[in-house]
Amino acid sequence: MTYEPTLPPESAATDDHVLAAWLADEAGRRLLEVRSEGLEGRELKDAGDRAAHELLMELVARHRPTDAVLSEEGKDDKARLDAERVWIIDPLDGTREFSEPPRDDWAVHVALWERGAGDGSTGAGDLTAAAVAQPALGETFTTGTPLVVPPSTSASPRIAVSRSRPPEFVHGLAAELDAQLVAMGSAGVKVLSVARDVTDAYVHAGGQYEWDSAAPVAVARAAGLFTSRIDGSPLRYNQDDVYLPDLVVCRPELADRILGWIAENGA
């Protein structure tokens, strides 16, 4: 059966925030459809990756035909390095969790990088619009309508960590902060968990790529959260080498304590 996307809002023609949200929504709807088709295991993972990637590539080409795209599931066309605008996409972040219904900790990432954007600290360009969809929750978080981060409801900090490969140093960090570790899937889900008051920080040093963090970092920044590499340097995107192995996303009041501990003890 051929998937028919909905029509984008009229404002998506000129508003990248709206387009990013619509793209993430559409890929999420497509993934929910794939998840309902009775596939399991590797077949389900591969079908989800392929379906979401193909749909997003088609829709970006249709609605922003002159923009470049960097997708986890596509070939890295180095022409993007000279482009003015680059969409950085993870069609299905948390493939393992997607393949384990009814888990909801998987996501779609859609971010836009533009040359000349930013304050100069991130090089020649920066992220300007993004959306992260959590389709199984029916939620899409976007830079167009930034999240309002509520005061923490936890008596002690909570640190989001990977289900399968939390960095070893995070246990020492948790002890220093008297924090509890909260395991979950998708990197995007972990970043957004900070903005949603499910956790207070996400600290990762186990290896990632630009598409793993671009969209969630942009949404987190728009919500007023602190974001950086684990050495405190800026997160840079649309680089020749797309490997971006570590990051910190946290409530601003925790940033100095987290970075200070890492600087002193290493990662």
For residue 90, being part of any structural domain is answered with: yes
For residue 209, being part of any structural domain is answered with: yes
Check if the beta carbon of residue 3 is closer than 8 Å to that of residue 55.
Answer: yes
Residue-by-residue pLDDT tens, the chain, 267 positions: 578 889 999 999 999 999 999 999 999 999 999 999 999 999 999 999 999 999 999 999 999 999 999 999 999 999 999 999 999 999 999 999 999 999 999 999 999 999 988 776 666 899 999 999 999 999 999 999 999 999 999 999 999 998 877 778 899 999 999 999 999 989 999 999 999 999 999 999 888 999 999 999 999 999 999 999 999 999 999 999 999 999 999 999 999 999 999 999 977
Q: Rounded distance, CA 170 to CA 167, Å?
A: 6
Check if the beta carbon of residue 36 is closer than 8 Å to that of residue 56.
Answer: no
Check if the beta carbon of residue 205 is closer than 8 Å to that of residue 164.
Answer: no
For residue 176, being part of any structural domain is answered with: yes
For residue 4, being part of any structural domain is answered with: no
Three-state secondary-structure class, residue 71: strand
On whether both 15 and 137 belong to a single domain, the answer is: yes
Q: Rounded distance, CA 185 to CA 100, Å?
A: 11
On whether both 51 and 171 belong to a single domain, the answer is: no
Pull the structure tokens for residue 58.
């088609």
For residue 3, being part of any structural domain is answered with: no
For residue 1, being part of any structural domain is answered with: no
Q: pTM here? A: 0.94
Range of the domain at 221: 158-265
**What domain count does the chain have?**
2
